[in-house]
């Protein structure tokens, strides 16, 4: 936004005119160097907060104790913060003491990573005491100073570290990575709200899978207050997020929850503990619920289809047995001719299915049945009659359809069952 750049340059210029130092600092300097879109332009200055307040007509004393004043410039807001150092992070997150300092380099030492610890002057000059540009060129995230100390001061930095690595596709310097491994237990001090907002950036970034994997590998995952049960299974779904890049973050979260095997109902609870906004939570839960319902309806439909198919097969087998395999073959060929005239009774797909079933048919007439009429009479201890032909026909159909085995014992058992059933009714 060229307008934002101009207005923030006005802020810096004004401070310089009053005899103070002022620079762009932090994320905006990093993003500009990386050629990324700059979202907000923060300014750091040697002027004390009261001075900043007096120099600009419109200010909001956002965090005056910590040295931060929001300056409003033609509708744009800029955070102007006095050079400061911090100390006494008792809760592994917030400094208890803030001291204003004279040198911009001192201010930069309190910042988390080398790429975030750079300041840029209005004349194009750089203040880059920790080699931030070099690390960006090498695509590596590196703590300013001793990683263990920096993570112990503020545990959220560990999550930020992985977030930056994931979103930028950077690696993490070995010393910095070891710092995470050594200090990871302090993550339990951090509010889920803060972790979630970092996760949101991982999830909407180009490669959420990368971030999640680093989270798992670092052991940070299991140290969150409300852990997410992602254990690295169903990598394909996560990979799919990377490849298809669904725009809306609810879609991405839903895919992640699916990958974790979490139901809509479970998601409801989980997302609450993850401090999602009502709106986002509802969007995700609805999406998962719809997915579940659709899958259920679909499954029933598939079952129905399978049933229909089986009954179609049975009908066909009965017809083949009644009219003979030869007639069945010829009929299929006849259908091919009729298909050509547009008057076929069955579609080519169905014909192919019927042909398949016909070829599979091993038992085609009574001779193929492993039992004879007289054997049946003997086994059932009954006199012959019309019923015997009916019974043989029924056994033939069942054996041909594969509903019973074609061996004497199975055939006799089935025959007994049929006879008893018929006598009962
Ligand atoms: P983003 O692209 O998310 O805005 P950012 O680096 O600008 O990334 P901000 O939270 O806007 O992140 O912080 C601005 C600057 O403040 C950072 O660049 C960094 O210099 C410093 N900073 C932010 N959070 C921390 C922290 N937890 N510890 C040390 N320095 C921090
Ligand atoms: Mg920022």
pLDDT in tens, 123-173: 999 999 999 999 999 999 999 999 999 999 999 999 999 999 999 999 999
Query: Is the same domain home to 63 and 100?
Result: yes
Please report which ligand is nearest the Cα atom of 161.
1
Please check whether residue 110 lies inside any domain of the structure. yes
How far, in Å, from the CA of 176 to the mean position of ligand 1? 17
The rounded distance, in Å, linking the Cα atoms of 120 and 141 is 20
Task: Give tens-digit pLDDT for 33-45.
Answer: 999 999 899 999 9
Same structural domain, 314 and 327: yes
**Which residue range is the domain that position 223 belongs to?**
139-227
Q: Full-prediction pTM beyond 0.95?
A: no
Six-digit token string for 163 = 């977030």
> Is the CB–ligand 1 distance for residue 26 below 6 Å?
yes
Number of folded domains that form the chain: 5
Q: Is 400 in the pocket of ligand 1 (CB under 6 A)?
A: no
145 lines ligand 1 (CB under 6 A): no
Query: How far is residue 119 CA from its own chain's centroid?
Result: 37
Q: How far apart are CA 207 and CA 368, in angstroms?
A: 63
Residue 39 sits in the same domain as residue 87 = yes
Residues 124 and 2 in one domain: yes
Check whether 424 has a pLDDT greater than 80. no
Which of 232, 163, 166 shows the shortest CA–CA distance to 195?
Answer: 163
Residue 56 alpha carbon to ligand 2 centre in Å: 22
Of the residues 171, 199, 227, the one at which a domain ends:
227
295 and 309 both lie in a single domain: no
pLDDT tens digits, one per residue of 363-393: 999 999 999 999 999 999 999 999 999 999 9
Is-contact 30 116, C-beta < 8 A? yes
Query: Which of 170, 161, 156 has the alpha carbon at shortest distance from 143?
Result: 161
Whether 105 and 13 share a structural domain: yes
In a domain, 134, yes or no: no
**Does the pLDDT of residue 400 top 90, yes or no?**
yes
* Lowest model confidence (mean pLDDT) among 41-50, 84-93, 237-246, 403-412: 237-246
Same-domain pairing of 22 and 117: yes
């Amino acid at each position: 936004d060229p307008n934002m750049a101009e207005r923030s340059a006005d802020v810096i210029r004004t401070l310089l005119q009053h005899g103070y130092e002022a620079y762009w600092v932090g994320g905006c300097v990093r993003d500009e160097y990386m050629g990324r879109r700059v979202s907000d332009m923060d300014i750091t200055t040697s002027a004390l907060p009261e001075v900043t307040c007096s120099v600009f007509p419109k200010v909001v004393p956002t965090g005056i104790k910590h040295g931060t004043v929001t300056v409003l410039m033609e509708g744009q807001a800029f955070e102007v913060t006095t050079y400061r150092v911090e100390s006494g992070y008792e809760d592994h997150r917030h400094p208890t003491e803030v001291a204003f300092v004279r040198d911009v380099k001192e201010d930069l030492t309190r910042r988390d990573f080398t790429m975030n610890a750079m300041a840029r002057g209005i004349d194009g000059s750089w203040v880059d005491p920790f080699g931030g540009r070099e690390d960006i060129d090498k695509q590596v995230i590196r703590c300013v100073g001793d990683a263990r100390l920096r993570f112990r001061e503020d545990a959220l930095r560990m999550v930020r570290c992985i977030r930056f690595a994931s979103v930028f596709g950077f690696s993490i310097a070995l010393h910095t990575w070891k710092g995470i491994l050594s200090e990871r237990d302090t993550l339990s001090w951090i509010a889920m709200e803060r972790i979630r907002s970092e996760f949101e950036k991982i999830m909407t970034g180009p490669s959420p899978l990368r971030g999640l994997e680093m989270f798992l590998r670092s052991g940070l995952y299991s140290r969150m207050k409300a852990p997410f049960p992602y254990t690295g299974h169903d990598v394909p779904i996560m990979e799919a997020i990377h490849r298809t890049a669904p725009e809306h973050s609810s879609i991405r979260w839903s895919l992640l929850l699916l990958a974790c095997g979490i139901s809509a109902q479970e998601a409801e609870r989980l997302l609450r503990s993850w401090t999602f906004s009502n709106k986002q939570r509802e969007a995700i839960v609805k999406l998962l619920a719809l997915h579940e319902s659709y899958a259920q309806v679909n499954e029933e439909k598939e079952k129905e289809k399978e049933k229909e198919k089986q009954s179609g097969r049975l009908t066909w087998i009965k017809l083949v047995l009644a009219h003979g395999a030869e007639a069945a073959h010829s009929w299929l060929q006849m259908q091919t001719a009729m298909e050509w005239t547009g008057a076929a009774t069955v579609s080519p797909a169905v014909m192919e299915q019927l042909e398949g079933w016909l070829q599979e048919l091993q038992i085609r007439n009574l001779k193929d049945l492993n039992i004879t009429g007289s054997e049946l009479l003997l086994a059932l201890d009954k006199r012959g009659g019309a019923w015997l032909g009916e019974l043989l026909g029924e056994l033939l159909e069942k054996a041909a359809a594969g509903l019973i085995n074609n061996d004497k014992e199975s055939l006799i058992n089935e025959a007994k069952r049929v006879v008893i059933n018929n006598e009962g009714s």
